[in-house]
Amino acid sequence: MRLLPLALALCFAIPASTDASAAGGQTRIAPADIAVAERLRDAALKDDTAWDFTEGLSTEIPMRMPGSANDLKSREWVTAKFKELGFDKVWSEPVTYPVWVRRSESAEIVSPFPQKLVVTALGNSPATPPGGLAGEIVAFPTLDALKAAAAESVRGKIVYVGARMVARQDGKDYGIGSTLRTNGPSIASGKGAAGFLLRSAGTDHERLPHTGATRFADGVAPIPAAALSAPDAEQIERVLARGQPVRVKLALDCGMDGTYTGANVIAELRGSKQPDEYFLTGGHLDSWDLGTGAIDDAVGIGISVGAAKLIAQLPQRPARSIRVVAWANEESGIHGGNAYGEKHGKEVARAVLGSESDLGADRIYKMSATVKPESRDALAQIAAVLKPLGIDYDTQFQGKGGADLAAMHKAGMAAVSMHRDATRYFAWHHTANDTLDKIDPEQLRQNVAAYAVLAYLAAQADGDFGSKPGAFVGQDKKN
Ligand SMILES: [Zn+2]
């Protein structure tokens, strides 16, 4: 009975089954469960399981490119770690995806002022011809300007787009950068461009370019595409401002290399009353090859693991299960999250609530949710436990839980988003600077505390959060 003394529980006739009161009814959290959650929260602020996990994975198996040798090694590592940490059940579910490989990359301004440029190829970019691709630059300030350009002005040239991102707490400028990176090369190719360069999707001024996947629309010929570091992008703009034609040469040795079957690695604390229902959390196991994948996203899995470990130390398992997933290949197309949705989406009601971590581990300042109205009071109870951590509950924003959960949310899973301070994150994201030293242990513990509270109370809640097939269709407009 939720860790309540049996006599007391009987006395107040607390419902014995969450199922009975769940369907369509008001969702509640018992005061005794709140007290346990407060203890979990406080214990998390002194616990370093998440740090140790992140330090271990990013030190022993950095550069976890999907389909690489480190893909298998990282799955073996995380499987062993899950078992060592005392999860009740650990298993893998296969995920098949196309493999992209990076071998080498370089670029230079050929004329009028010859000099080297610092670039990195975008994921899914094809190689340049042997000897490199040389061409005249045609520049645009934004993706919209490229979209509006006449094909004649672009044909045969190397398109450069210099859209900028500003560091913000909510990280919303990543929408500008990621849209440009994802769609820019395809749009340029559709107008006959020979190659594509963008100012990196980042907020820093390091001479370190930001990689990330691009995507070519069906029927569009893939063209070589790369990101310039911010200082190199500004250098190109200064050279262009002199008014002469600017020729660059791009040499990328990279490209698609067949398909590979990896896996989502899943660990579960089995629930004591409704073990087939679960709180779903985790992060993605793959990472780009430029850095060590500490902030993106070893620490995301680490946060979930740290939270689950604290819950595992309670005298009794919570009513429902807690499921931690190390998702496969998020970076090149959310392949792991989509595979999970395909396999488990038909039983979406079992996934009572989901929330993953994929934005580093700086301080969480806000929680938001997409849940049924009758569970808003329960969310407010959870929020009250989070309040001393400096986390507000934004009832207007519809948190969707994260990219790896998008397929499950689309299938009808209720979701919570924990909003981290993203002011620092996009300076390092997808660069060689994605390293362990960027994680502040104290802020990381605050993240773990928030997830421990959320996971425990979602698993213990008397009633559901509205997960059922198609539950939230049409509510996906906001973020
Ligand atoms: Zn990520």
> In whole angstroms, how far apart are CA 100 and each of 91, 259, 442?
26, 9, 36
Rounded to the nearest angstrom, the distance between the alpha carbon of 352 and the centre of ligand 1 is 24
Mean pLDDT throughout 30-34? 98
Q: Which sign does the torsion angle of CA 242, 247, 251, 256 carry?
A: positive
**pLDDT at 473 (0 to 100):** 86
Q: Is the pLDDT of residue 79 over 90?
A: yes
Mean pLDDT throughout 6-28? 50
**pLDDT at 475 (0 to 100):** 61
Rounded to the nearest angstrom, the distance between the alpha carbon of 285 and the centre of ligand 1 is 9
CA distance 430 to 209: 8
Q: Is the pLDDT of residue 10 over 50?
A: no
Rounded to the nearest angstrom, the distance between the alpha carbon of 429 and the centre of ligand 1 is 8
Is-contact 378 29, C-beta < 8 A? yes
Q: Which sign does the torsion angle of CA 329, 451, 418, 369 carry?
A: positive
Q: Are strands 195-199 and 225-228 parallel, antiparallel or unpaired?
A: parallel
Structural domains of the chain sorted by starting position, each given as residue range(s) with its CATH number in brackets: 22-88+270-460 (3.40.630.10), 100-257 (3.50.30.30)
Residue pointed to by tokens 């769609």: 183
Residue environment code for 67-89, b if the CB has 16+ CB neighbours within 10 A, otherwise e: bbebbeebbebbbebbeebebee
Rounded to the nearest angstrom, the distance between the alpha carbon of 189 and the centre of ligand 1 is 27
Rounded to the nearest angstrom, the distance between the alpha carbon of 1 and the centre of ligand 1 is 38
**pLDDT at 21 (0 to 100):** 43
Q: Is the pLDDT of residue 329 over 50?
A: yes
Q: Is the pLDDT of residue 47 over 80?
A: yes
CA distance 58 to 53: 8
Rounded to the nearest angstrom, the distance between the alpha carbon of 248 and the centre of ligand 1 is 31
**Beta-carbon neighbours within 5 Å of ion ligand 1:** 296-297, 358
Instruction: Say how many Å lie between the first and final Cα of the chain, rounded.
Output: 38
3-state helix, strand, coil in the chain (%, to 5): 40, 25, 40
**pLDDT at 4 (0 to 100):** 39
Give the percent of the chain with pLDDT over 70. Answer: 94
Burial grade of 281 (CB within 10 A; 0-12, 13-18, 19 or more): buried
CA distance 376 to 477: 20
CA distance 315 to 452: 15
Rounded to the nearest angstrom, the distance between the alpha carbon of 65 and the centre of ligand 1 is 12
Which pLDDT band holds residue 284 (cuts at 50, 70, 90)?
very high
Rounded to the nearest angstrom, the distance between the alpha carbon of 211 and the centre of ligand 1 is 12
Closest CA to 245 of 152, 143, 113: 113
Rounded to the nearest angstrom, the distance between the alpha carbon of 23 and the centre of ligand 1 is 35
Is-contact 412 272, C-beta < 8 A? no
Phi, psi for residue 405 in degrees, rounded to 5 = -100, 0
CA distance 305 to 176: 32
Mean pLDDT throughout 425-453? 98
Which pLDDT band holds residue 14 (cuts at 50, 70, 90)?
very low
> Residues 374-421: pLDDT tens digits?
999 999 999 999 999 999 999 999 999 999 999 999 999 999 999 999
Residues 6+ apart with CB under 8 A from 316: 3, 272
Q: Is the pLDDT of residue 8 over 50?
A: no
> Residues 200-209: pLDDT tens digits?
999 999 999 9
Residues 6+ apart with CB under 8 A from 417: 355, 367, 368, 369, 397, 399, 400, 401, 402, 479
Rounded to the nearest angstrom, the distance between the alpha carbon of 366 and the centre of ligand 1 is 19
> In whole angstroms, how far apart are CA 363 and each of 147, 201, 415, 451?
37, 22, 20, 12
Burial grade of 218 (CB within 10 A; 0-12, 13-18, 19 or more): exposed
Torsion angle of C-alpha atoms 383, 345, 298, 453, degrees rounded to 10: 20
Residues 6+ apart with CB under 8 A from 370: 398, 399, 400, 401, 409, 414, 415, 472, 475
Rounded to the nearest angstrom, the distance between the alpha carbon of 331 and the centre of ligand 1 is 6
Is-contact 292 436, C-beta < 8 A? yes
Q: Is the pLDDT of residue 281 over 80?
A: yes
